[in-house]
Amino acid sequence: MSVAPRPLRRPRRLRRTGVIRRLVRETRLTPDRLVLPLFVTDGENVEQPIEAMPGHARLSVDRVLARCQDALENKVGAFALFPAVDPALKRPDAGEALNPENLLCRTVRAIKAGIPEACVITDIALDPYSSLGHDGLVRNGVVVNDETVDVLSQMAVLHAKAGADIVAPSDMMDGRVAAIRAALDRAGATDVAIISYTAKYASAFYGPFREALGSAPVAAENVPSDKKTYQMDPANAREAAIEAMLDEDEGADVLMVKPALPYLDVIRRLRLATELPVAAYHVSGEYAMVKAAAARGWLDERSCMSEVLLGIARAGADLIFTYAALEYARWWRESLR
C-alpha cells in the first residue's frame, strides 16, 4: 500500500508550546500602546455609570485623577478626555468651548498638576458644547466649515495653554489640521502634537458615546439630522487615502481611523501609505457588543476583547484608543506571571 508523502514544511512545529508560540509571535500589543478615553463631569466624588458601557462612568475630576493613577500603575499612560457639559451651558454657538475655565480645561490642569507624567489628549470638536449636537457651527441648516475651523483653532490653543500634550480634532472639517497647527505655533505651543481623526466614518457604532455625552444631533428645524455631510461614507476607502494625504501635508503628527473593526482595511491602507503613526479608535459600540455578549455568557470577554485589540494592531494600528485599555492592561500583566 502506497504511503502519502510527508509534508516538507510543518507550520505546527512553531505552535507546539507556549514558549515557542511567543518566540515567533508577529504582533505584540503592550499596554503602553493603548489610550484610555475618560468621560468627565462636574462635581466632587461623582461617578455616574453609563448603562451602555459597563465599567465606564462620567467621573468628577477627583475620580478622573484616581482612574489615571490606576491606569499608570498598569502601564497605560495616555488619556483622551471628553467632557459631559452641563446642558445649561450648551448654546448654538458652542461658546463654552472657548471658556478657559470650562470643565475640560480644569480637568487638564488638574491632571498635569497631580500626575505630570500622564499624556493628556483632548478632543477638538464642538458637539459636547453645542445645543444642536453637531461637531461644527450650524447656519441655515448647514454645518459650516470655515467658521467652525476658526473656533476649533482657538479651542486647540486653549487646551494647549491648559497643559494638553496632544490635541485631537475629531470634527472632520476640511483644512482644520493646517489651521490648528498654525494657531498652536503662533501661540508658542510648537511641542503640542496633533492626532487627526483622518478617516472618521458616519458610523452607527457611536451610540453609547453619544449617550454618555448627550452629543447626538437634536431634532429641530434647520438642523441636520445626522453628521453625514462631514463624516465619511462607510462605503468609501480610497477617500481615506485622500484625507490622509491632506492631513499629513497640513502637519498632523498621527493619523486616526474611527471606528476600528469595520475599517481594518482602511487602517491597513493608511499604514501602507504613510510613515506617520496610525491610530485606531475602538469605539463605544464595538466595546459594548463584547461586553453585552459576555454578560449573557455567549463568549469569553477576556479572550474576545484581547483578540479584537490584537486584530486592530495586526491591521497596522500603532496606538489604539479603547475603553478596554485598563482591563487589557491588567490581563496582560497577569499573563506575565
Average pLDDT over residues 83-104: 97
Cell representation of residue 87: 446642558
pLDDT at 295: 96
pLDDT for 1: 61
Q: Classify the C-alpha dihedral 216-130-193-325 as positive or negative.
A: negative
User: Is 103 contained in some domain?
Assistant: yes
| Domain CATH for 115 | 3.20.20.70
- Whole-angstrom CA distances from 7 to 2, 10, 12, 17, 24 are 15, 7, 11, 20, 21
Percentage of residues in the chain with pLDDT exceeding 90? 92
Per-residue model confidence as pLDDT tens digits over 266-286:
999 999 999 999 999 999 999
pLDDT at site 81: 98
Please calculate the CA angle 291-65-190 and round it to the nearest 5 degrees.
105
Within-domain flag for 138? yes
Please indicate whether residue 227 is annotated as part of the active site.
no
The predicted model gives 45-71 an average pLDDT of 96
Structural domain total, the chain: 1
**Is 228 a catalytic site residue?**
no
Is residue 112 situated within a structural domain? Answer: yes
Q: Which of 170-174, 209-213, 262-266, 314-318 has the lowest mean pLDDT?
A: 209-213
Percentage of the chain exceeding pLDDT 70: 99
Q: Over the stretch 100-140, which tens digit does the pLDDT of each residue have?
A: 999 999 999 999 999 999 999 999 999 999 999 999 999 99
Position 11 in a domain? no
Count of CB atoms within 10 A of residue 139's CB? 12
Tens-place pLDDT, residues 293-303: 999 999 999 99
Its domain, for residue 203, covers: 28-335
Mean local confidence (pLDDT), 214-234: 93
Higher pLDDT, 51 or 8: 51
> Mean pLDDT throughout 60-66?
98
Which residue type, as a one-letter code, is found at position 36? L
In whole angstroms, what is the distance from residue 125 CA to residue 143 CA? 12
Distance (Å, rounded) from C-alpha 284 to C-alpha 323?
7
- 3-state secondary structure string, the chain? CCCCCCCCCCHHHHHCCHHHHHHCCCCCCCHHHEEEEEEECCCCCCEEECCCCCCCEEECHHHHHHHHHHHHHCCCCEEEEEECCCHHHCECCCHHHHCCCCHHHHHHHHHHHHCCCCEEEEEECCCCCECCCCCCCEECCEECCHHHHHHHHHHHHHHHHHCCCEEEECCCCCCHHHHHHHHHHHCCCCCCEEEEEEEEECCHHHHHHHHHHCCCCCCCCCCCCCCCCCCECCCCCHHHHHHHHHHHHHCCCEEEEECCHHHHHHHHHHHHHCCCCEEEEECHHHHHHHHHHHHCCCCCHHHHHHHHHHHHHHHCCCEEEECCHHHHHHHHHHHCC
pLDDT band at 8 (very low <50, low <70, confident <90, very high): confident
Structural domain contains residue 158: yes
Active-site residue identified among 75, 90, 112, 258 = 258
- Decide the pairing of beta strands 78-83 and 119-124: parallel
Model pLDDT, residue 136: 96
**Cα distance between the two ends of the chain:** 51
10 in a domain, yes or no?
no
pLDDT score at 257: 98
Q: Considering the domain boundaries, does residue 1 fall inside one? A: no
Task: Give the pLDDT of residue 213.
Answer: 85
Mean pLDDT estimate for the chain? 96
Asked if pLDDT for residue 50 goes beyond 70, the answer is yes
Q: What is the pLDDT of residue 227?
A: 96
pLDDT of 132 reads 96
Residue 17 belongs to some domain of the structure? no
Which residues contact residue 51 at a Cβ distance below 8 angstroms, ignoring those fewer than 6 apart? 211
Catalytic residue among 75, 112, 161, 200: 200
